[in-house]
Chains A and B, each alone.
Chain A
Amino acid sequence: MADSQLIEIFRTVFPNLTDDEIRGATAENVGAWDSIASVNLFLQIQQEFGITVDFEAAASLMSYRAIRDYVAAQVGQAQS
């Protein structure tokens, strides 16, 4: 899974963040990160990576790193 795809998705939801800021983004340090932003992130992740996101489980993923790890695991599962 390419980081660049996930960063691009984050950029559409948080257009004011730099790539480095995105890599370190959490729901606590990004003011615009609310539940709607989470939904927008995961809807795009579904489409971009061809995976099905469990929205209720994904609601606890509140950082770029956590989301990146979740997506990588889902993509890996889908491919195996």
Chain B
Amino acid sequence: MTLAEALRITSQPQPDAPDRAIFLVSGFEPLQLKTFLSATARSNAPEARWTVESGAFGNWLENLERAASSIAETVLAVLEWSDLDPRLGARSAGGWTADILGEARRFLGSARGVLQQVSARKRTVVSGPVLPLLPVDTTAPEELGVLGAGLRLAVAEFRDWVALNTQAVVAGPEALDGELRLDTRRDLSLDLAAGHPLSTPCAAALAALLWRLAFPAPRRKGIITDLDNTLWKGILGEDGIDGIAWSLDRRAQVHAWYQQALASFAGSGVLVAVASRNDPKLTDTALRQPGLLIGYDRMFPVEAGWGLKSEAVGRILATWNIAAGSVIFVDDSIHEIEEVRSRYPDIECLQFECGDPARVMRLIERVRELCGKRNVTEEDRLRSASIRSGQQTASEARASDPEAFLAGLEARLTIGRVDARSFELVNKTNQFNLNGRRYSQAEWEKEVGRAGSVAFSVGYADRFGPLGQIGVVLARCEADALTVITWVLSCRAFSRRIEHCMMRFLFERTGWDRICFEFEPTGRNAPVSDLLRAVAGTDPSGPMSISRDDMTARLPRTYQQIEQSGELTYG
């Protein structure tokens, strides 16, 4: 984005829409950075009215404290060398002496505590320093000097501490290196004239980075991989099991990188499946080899056969029950990629170019960009196994009497307090979602903490294994009714009458004879409208209520044993 484009965007009137605010914490005069940030927010989220606040010049810590008490739900804290000690900035003439390091450490020590508090309550991103250090050392610029080394170490330790001990998202130290040389980031003339040390390109790049970190694009949930000359070097059908390779001594190290990357992604909850033109039995044998760096149990499903790749991809998407836009497809053949892309234009297709190690490494980095997540939960680790068990469930269900099957599941629902996983579920579930309502962290905490509210999470396990936390309910007790304002259920948990059990639990646990549901059709929440229609006997088109009598008469039998772990969350 150029400055002219940013100015054009920010000069446009904003829509009559919900207000959203960002607090930009900096010690320098934010000027262009603020303009670019404002333009980025308006471009990426035009459904809101954006305000970018900032604090006073020269006091980073005080601005951070001000951010903590502001109404802004997002804090972007941009740290520069001059914040650690003003003598590290171009506008100071205090002398470049060794005691700067002590001052810097004291500043960073103070910042830790404030960041911990702010990030516990607001979405917080920390970046910087992105500018090069001024020539403060006695050594030649190419040589690492004592003061520079000490400062860089102090900042690195600070960044590590913040990343590990707070809820803030920390920009990696090399985040801008791919697009901006260090020597192009500073504008000394502008710094002296106006107190804004960043060059225009640096301000633009930093604003874009801060936005991506604060509001990351939805992560891709699955990777569908080819096998021949992708997962391994060689063609299984021609070279045989002994002929395929993924090791350095067989000049196939890039495939080892790829396998270990897939194993890492699978461990963090990304689904991995195989789509390969190969004999199914031979493929099964090859994938069960003990030397493979991604375990057989980490890949599901495996679609090996001779039909079109796009058809295999379609079956995988159906098994996973996720949209094509949430998936990455990796293949060495540009022909296969184009074939899949023609059928599923929303799939991110990446070509595995096994003859070019740099491109393979770039592919792995790209997958990490698309799939990486900061916190790996127990549900993430269970995801692939739960889909596999879901397949087993569906398979047995098809083969038997439905009621007998459900009764024989040995299913258990665990009702508990809401937590970070609950917040994640509420904001990413689409199909079984009462009204599609999304919350910021602050909005969620406010609703859960509101007087008269009751919130609970639902976990599920049966004889096929655990699914982890799969449902969330948030309701409000009003004078004459209980009103459910948010209700979500993960699509992995469908076909087990869990939603029916949750509805029954609501009536039985709360004692209300009538419960209102703030239903809104979203175009994707047909499973909710199907349930409400079945119980209420009328077509839901908006908020509606269900009586205990209707629930008793129309809700099908449920077989789950309910365990309550601790008290529910009450406002």
- Residues facing B in A3-35 (CB within 8 A) are 9, 12-13, 15, 35
Contact present for B31 and A56 (CB under 8 Å): no
- Residues facing B in A26-80 (CB within 8 A) are 35-36, 39-40, 43-44, 47, 52-56, 58-59
Q: Please report the C-alpha to C-alpha distance between residue A54 and residue B190 in the assembled complex, in whole angstroms.
A: 8
Question: Chain A contact residues: over half helix, strand or loop, or mixed?
Answer: helix
Q: Which residue of A lies closest to B196 (CB)?
A: A39
Shortest B537–chain A CB gap in Å is 57
Q: Which residue of B lies closest to A37 (CB)?
A: B7
Shortest A64–chain B CB gap in Å is 17
Known A-B contacts A15-B8, A15-B11; the reply to A40 vs B3 at CB < 8 A is yes
Among B3, B32, B190, B200, residue most surrounded by chain A Cβ atoms (within 10 Å): B3
- State which of A13, A53, A55 has its C-beta within 8 Å of the C-beta of B7: A13
Known A-B contacts A44-B3, A44-B4; the reply to A52 vs B31 at CB < 8 A is no
Shortest A75–chain B CB gap in Å is 18
Residues of A within 8 A of B8 (CB): 12, 15
Among A44, A52, A58, residue most surrounded by chain B Cβ atoms (within 10 Å): A44
Contact present for A35 and B194 (CB under 8 Å): yes
Contact present for A56 and B193 (CB under 8 Å): yes
Contact present for A47 and B196 (CB under 8 Å): no
Q: Which residue of A lies closest to B32 (CB)?
A: A43
Report the interface size for chain A: residues with CB under 8 A from the other chain. 18
- Residues facing A in B452-474 (CB within 8 A) are none
Beta-carbon contacts of B219-246 to A below 8 Å, as 1s and 0s? 0000000000000000000000000000
Q: Please report the C-alpha to C-alpha distance between residue A47 and residue B190 in the assembled complex, in whole angstroms.
A: 14
Residues of A within 8 A of B35 (CB): 40
Contact present for B193 and A59 (CB under 8 Å): yes
Shortest A51–chain B CB gap in Å is 12
Residues of B within 8 A of A55 (CB): 189-190, 192-194
Residues of A within 8 A of B190 (CB): 39, 43, 55
Q: Please report the C-alpha to C-alpha distance between residue A12 and residue B5 in the assembled complex, in whole angstroms.
A: 8
Residues of B within 8 A of A15 (CB): 8, 11
Q: Please report the C-alpha to C-alpha distance between residue A56 and residue B196 in the assembled complex, in whole angstroms.
A: 13
Question: Chain B contact residues: over half helix, strand or loop, or mixed?
Answer: helix
Shortest B526–chain A CB gap in Å is 46
Q: Which residue of A lies closest to B2 (CB)?
A: A47
Contact present for B7 and A36 (CB under 8 Å): no
Q: Please report the C-alpha to C-alpha distance between residue A36 and residue B10 in the assembled complex, in whole angstroms.
A: 14
Residues of A within 8 A of B7 (CB): 12-13, 40
Beta-carbon contacts of B169-212 to A below 8 Å, as 1s and 0s? 00000000000000000000110111010001000000000000
Known A-B contacts A44-B3, A44-B4; the reply to A54 vs B194 at CB < 8 A is no
Q: Please report the C-alpha to C-alpha distance between residue A13 and residue B10 in the assembled complex, in whole angstroms.
A: 10
Known A-B contacts A15-B11, A39-B194, A47-B200; the reply to A54 vs B31 at CB < 8 A is no
Q: Which residue of A lies closest to B192 (CB)?
A: A56
Shortest A54–chain B CB gap in Å is 6
Residues of B within 8 A of A53 (CB): 189
Residues of B within 8 A of A47 (CB): 2-3, 200
Contact present for B4 and A39 (CB under 8 Å): no
Q: Please report the C-alpha to C-alpha distance between residue A47 and residue B199 in the assembled complex, in whole angstroms.
A: 11
- Residues facing A in B27-43 (CB within 8 A) are 31-32, 35
Residues of A within 8 A of B32 (CB): 39-40, 43
Residues of A within 8 A of B189 (CB): 52-56
Shortest B337–chain A CB gap in Å is 39
Q: Please report the C-alpha to C-alpha distance between residue A61 and residue B32 in the assembled complex, in whole angstroms.
A: 20
- Residues facing A in B1-59 (CB within 8 A) are 2-4, 7-8, 11, 31-32, 35
Residues of B within 8 A of A39 (CB): 31-32, 190, 193-194, 196
Q: Which residue of A lies closest to B35 (CB)?
A: A40
Shortest A52–chain B CB gap in Å is 7
Residues of A within 8 A of B4 (CB): 9, 12, 44
Residues of B within 8 A of A44 (CB): 3-4
Q: Which residue of B lies closest to A15 (CB)?
A: B11
Shortest B158–chain A CB gap in Å is 31
Residues of B within 8 A of A40 (CB): 3, 7, 32, 35
Shortest A23–chain B CB gap in Å is 19
Q: Please report the C-alpha to C-alpha distance between residue A1 and residue B190 in the assembled complex, in whole angstroms.
A: 24
Other A-B contacts than A40-B7, A47-B200, A56-B193, 19 sampled, CB-CB below 8 A, are A12-B7, A12-B11, A15-B11, A35-B194, A39-B32, A39-B190, A40-B3, A40-B32, A43-B3, A43-B190, A43-B200, A47-B3, A52-B189, A54-B189, A55-B192, A55-B193, A56-B192, A58-B193, A59-B193
Chain A residues proximal to chain B, CB less than 8 Å:
9, 12-13, 15, 35-36, 39-40, 43-44, 47, 52-56, 58-59
A-B contact pairs, 21 of them (CB 8 A): A9-B4, A12-B7, A12-B8, A15-B11, A35-B194, A39-B31, A39-B194, A40-B32, A40-B35, A43-B3, A43-B32, A43-B200, A44-B3, A44-B4, A47-B2, A47-B3, A47-B200, A54-B189, A55-B190, A55-B193, A56-B193
Q: Which 8 A-B pairs have the closest CB atoms?
A: A55-B193, A12-B7, A15-B11, A12-B4, A55-B189, A56-B193, A43-B200, A39-B194
